[in-house]
Amino acid sequence: MTQRARESVIRAPGIPHLLVVVVCCFSGFALLLPVSPAWAVSGGADEFGAGLVTAVLMAATVLAQLCVKATLRRLGWSRTLALGAILLGLPAPLQALSDQLPPILLTTAFRGAGFGIITVCGSTAAAVLAPRGRQGAAIGLYGLAVALPQVVLTPAGPWLVGAFSLPAIIACAVVPVLALPWTPALGRAVEARADSPAPHADRQQPTAPSTTVLRRILLPLAVLLTVTAAGGAVLTFAPQFTASPVLAAASLLALTATAAAARWGCGYLADRIAPRPINCVLTLAACAGLLLIAVTIGSESVAIPLLLTGLLLLGVAYGGLQSVTLVQAFDHAGTENRHTTSVAWNIGYDAGTGVGALTLGLAAHAATFSTGFTVLSAAMATAFLAVLLAGDRPAAGRPAGVRRRTRGGKRGSLTDC
């Protein structure tokens, strides 16, 4: 391994600023993910209305992600990051003023727009700022910063709801505005690195059409969408399908803590071994975890150890597949297509979260939560078969010199970051 490949990721220029911005912004997002649906329910909404809150959040996120490229071109990185933090944080105190569904959905839509900006800029920045040969490690560290607020705040949501008033909790989600002092330095670091030519390339490769990029990364996106649908379902409805606030908090902690560890660890693994074996193991774990959850909550008396085991299995897959699919997508698409890849990956993530919440809400309204988790388990089984049958396909359309190199029979580090 070269000296550059051993460069510290956390000390790389811009990475500390990225981590601070991400932690602040995702703290506001994680706090309200289970609380906003509960706020709507307290105002008279049913299970479908609660699922609609998360679905609107993700829909607004996806629409904003499609506009990030134009926003960056017009405002630059620093102002775009600041806009994202403001849109994500400032609507929270307004949401606390009313528990009726329409104002909740409106403020949620503004928050989704801010979240869309932050997610695209964050994942792109992680790839751009990564030291050469450490893209997987940088994405894993970025994933850890994304996941840590969920580990702390999402499981605390049901407990906070029981201990404090909902408006006070919702108002605290203004925390993304605390990221504003760090956005200028982060923006300058990304612009400086993005403008530097890649050291291994003789010339800048032309950007591929979006349809070409999507075709290259279709499988990792499909796997991502499926697993985030399962995770979004749990994150939205844990307070509803569990018997008590304590069990709901324990369930969310089991999911988010394992997801954080897996997202970090699998990012490092992705620099060293091929993604297919990792994907096979993780999709199979998610399928088994969802089936355990479905069986457990469908019985008359909830077997808490089995429920938590299912959530732990799902958490490992939920976190690990986020890092592996992002590394795989950047690898297959090529460095010249980072922005398109980042937008597509984040749309897959957020669309999956919204679809999972809406699917489980519909299933619970029409039948039971157990039925919804059975459907999600079947979807994960399909993803496992797709990964198993796809094989190790080389990155299509990549120029020479930017594929992963091998050494000693193992997959080496990316040479393009």
333-355 confidence digits (pLDDT tens)? 877 788 888 888 888 887 888 78
For residue 155, the model assigns a pLDDT of 72
- Which of 402, 350, 411 shows the shortest CA–CA distance to 122? 350
For residue 277, pLDDT over 80 is answered with yes
DSSP characters over 280-340:
HHHHHHHHHHHHHHHHHHHSSS--HHHHHHHHHHHHHHHHHHHHHHHHHHHHHH-GGGHHH
Average pLDDT over residues 64-70: 90
Helix-helix angle 304-333:245-269, to 10 degrees: 30
For residue 247, pLDDT over 90 is answered with no
For residue 113, pLDDT over 70 is answered with yes
For residue 417, the model assigns a pLDDT of 29
How far is CA 295 from each of CA 149, 172, 291, 315, 381, rounded to the nearest angstrom?
29, 36, 6, 17, 16
For residue 229, the model assigns a pLDDT of 93
For residue 88, pLDDT over 50 is answered with yes
Q: Which two tokens stand for residue 42?
A: 């307290």
Q: Are 92 and 39 in contact (CB under 8 A)?
A: no
d(CA 329, CA 326): 5
> Side chain identity at 327, as an amino acid letter?
V
**What residues have CB less than 8 Å from 409, skipping those under 6 apart?**
none
DSSP characters over 133-185:
T-HHHHHHHHHHHHHHHHHHHHHHHHHHHHHS-HHHHHHGGGGGGGGGGGHHH
For residue 59, count other CB atoms closer than 10 A to its CB: 19
- Which of 193, 188, 133 shows the shortest CA–CA distance to 327? 133
pLDDT-based confidence at residue 293 (cuts at 50, 70, 90): very high
Q: Which residue has the higher pLDDT, 408 or 332?
A: 332
For residue 81, pLDDT over 50 is answered with yes
pLDDT, mean over the chain: 83
Residue 116 CB burial class (10 angstroms; 0-12, 13-18, ≥19): buried
Q: Are 357 and 233 in contact (CB under 8 A)?
A: yes
DSSP characters over 69-107:
HHHHHHHHHHHHHHHHHHHHHTHHHHHTT--SHHHHHHH
Average pLDDT over residues 166-191: 92
* pLDDT per position as a tens digit, 22-55: 999 999 998 888 788 888 988 888 878 888 898 8
d(CA 179, CA 18): 10
For residue 412, the model assigns a pLDDT of 38
For residue 108, pLDDT over 90 is answered with yes
- Tokens 């909902």 found at: 166
CB-side neighbour CA atoms (13 Å) of 15: 24
Longest dimension (CA), the chain: 66
**Percent of the chain whose pLDDT exceeds 70:** 88
Average pLDDT over residues 136-142: 85
Q: Tell me the chain's radius of gyration from C-alpha atoms.
A: 20
